[in-house]
């Protein structure tokens, strides 16, 4: 399955280019087909699932040749498809819905995280504990139980046989700075060690706290890079902020983050040493949890 969100981006670019090639402003096209300018803007900015009928009406108004007409209608059809995440509505959270959509068509996923355990590797208990941490900041934009179930569904989809190659650079500080119950964190780290030995498409490397990274620009936010099997689908970087995730397909931004990832990859521990680091962290956390319980 191709990512409907990526298809919406392609469709938006096609429609905008076609309108501009005919010398029309968005409001002029809207008047021509008796639509609101807002509807045209939403289509040209990939906001929401497109209505194929709306796209057909625009193409007819622009006098599209049949060969181009058919191609763009097929693109609109792919962009309008629903995925498993749609069954959750907004209860899984808009940020996670977007990730699930993009991951559904990905060929490779490369992630750097310096703040927490990546969502695709979290246990249900860890996800639930993080939801409680988030609750301190105010009302949640998701339903914790459904968010947790959806996160497990995402994990199954990505780590399945034939799924995308998933490579993670995890800052060691994430294993040492704990903001959930220690026993939950200990189980979470043990879970990651199990995943790394069970799924061949998962590659995880630890960036040690004492890594030598001179002349390497340290990213100021967690990010993930996504590529897709179809060469026509643009590579994407998702930049994480405290309140949102910013999808970017611009060549400059993607190239910049690819370079950052490649440079960070030179400073990480080997697969064997990363596994050892995870194992030692799990044991250390388990001892702390036992001591706290006693």
| Whether the predicted pLDDT of 294 surpasses 60 | no
3-class DSSP assignment, residue 110: strand
Give the pLDDT score at 293.
57
Give the model confidence (pLDDT) of 255-274 as tens digits.
999 999 999 999 999 999 99
Give the model confidence (pLDDT) of 193-249 as tens digits.
999 999 999 999 999 999 888 777 788 899 999 999 999 999 999 999 877 788 999
- Tell me 119's DSSP state: G
Domains of the chain plus CATH, in order, are 4-79 (1.10.260.40), 87-293 (3.30.870)
pTM: predicted TM-score of the whole model, two decimal places? 0.92
Q: What's the rounded mean pLDDT across residues 111-126?
A: 96
> How many C-alpha atoms does 137 have within 13 Å on its Cβ side?
8
Rounded-to-10 torsion of CA 190, 142, 149, 86: -140
Give the model confidence (pLDDT) of 179-207 as tens digits.
999 999 999 999 999 999 999 999 999 99
For residues 259 and 265, give the distance between their C-alpha atoms in angstroms, rounded to a whole number.
10
Computed over every residue of the chain, the mean pLDDT equals 93
The sign of the CA dihedral 148, 117, 199, 254 is: positive
The sign of the CA dihedral 264, 269, 275, 281 is: negative
């Amino acid at each position: 399955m191709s990512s409907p969100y990526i298809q919406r981006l392609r469709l938006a670019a096609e429609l905008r280019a076609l309108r501009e090639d005919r010398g029309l402003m968005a409001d002029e096209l809207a008047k021509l087909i008796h639509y609101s300018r807002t509807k045209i803007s939403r289509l040209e900015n990939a906001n929401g699932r497109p209505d194929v009928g709306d796209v057909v009406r625009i193409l007819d108004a622009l006098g599209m040749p049949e060969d181009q007409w058919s191609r763009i209608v097929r693109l609109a059809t792919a962009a309008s498809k629903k995925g498993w995440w749609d069954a959750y509505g907004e209860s899984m959270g808009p940020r996670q819905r977007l990730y699930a959509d993009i991951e559904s068509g990905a060929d490779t996923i490369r992630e750097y995280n310096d703040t927490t355990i990546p969502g695709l590797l979290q246990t249900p208990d860890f996800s639930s504990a993080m939801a409680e941490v988030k609750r301190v900041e105010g009302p949640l934009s998701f339903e914790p139980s459904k968010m947790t179930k959806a996160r497990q569904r995402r994990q199954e989809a990505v780590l399945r046989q034939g799924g995308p190659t998933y490579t993670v650079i995890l800052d060691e500080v994430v294993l040492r700075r704990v903001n959930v119950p220690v026993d939950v964190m200990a189980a979470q780290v043990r879970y990651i060690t199990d995943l790394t030995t069970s799924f061949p498409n998962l590659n995880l490397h630890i960036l040690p706290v004492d890594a030598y990274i001179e002349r390497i620009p340290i990213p100021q936010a967690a990010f993930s890079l996504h590529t897709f099997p179809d060469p026509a689908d643009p590579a994407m970087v998702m930049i994480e902020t405290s309140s949102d995730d910013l999808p970017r397909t611009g060549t400059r931004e993607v190239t910049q983050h690819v370079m950052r990832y490649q440079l960070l990859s030179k400073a990480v521990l080997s697969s064997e040493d990363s596994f050892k680091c995870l194992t030692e962290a799990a044991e250390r956390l388990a001892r702390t949890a036992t001591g706290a319980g006693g």
